[in-house]
Amino acid sequence: MGQVQARIRVPDAVHSSDAVNAFVGLGSNLGDPRAAVRAAMESISRIAQVTMVAQSALYGSSPLDAGGADYVNAVVKVRTALSCDHLLDALQAIEQSAGRVRPYRNAPRTLDLDVLLFGDQIIKTDRLTVPHPRMWEREFVVRPLGDVAPELVSQAQRDAVKGQGVWPL
């Protein structure tokens, strides 16, 4: 799979006092998942008003509540002056450019990008729920989140999801 391309400008570093730290979960299990996740990380780093702060290691995981091939997962920490809705718009543009389709819930996917946390905001709309509603139930999120923000993940949270079939790549 080639690099994911979306119509995104390369930003200057985000230093605005209005900027927040946000965390994005990445996953893929179709095509070349490792390449898709790496390309998505690069695309996220090129979103206007977004600065990449940290990237987790890549992790493999068995599908949870779904069938299909194993996933490649990661989490990135970004600093952004975008609203959460505008960040989601940019992430969905990256997904579409990677060939993402949504035929049914938990379908295999070329790329899945989820806003996990957005500053300390709590958001509940028809389109978006932040913090991501199931993030603390999934080792494939908790483990890479611990890579980029160990202060956010307690040992109890790690232990609660341990053994779900997640391994370092």
The catalytic residues are 100, 109, 112, 114
Token pair for 22: 């946000």
According to DSSP, the β-strands at 20-28 and 50-55 are unpaired
Sign of CA dihedral 50, 52, 53, 59: positive
3-state secondary structure of 25: strand
**22 with 118: CB under 8 angstroms?**
yes
CA distance 105 to 129: 16
CA distance 119 to 76: 14
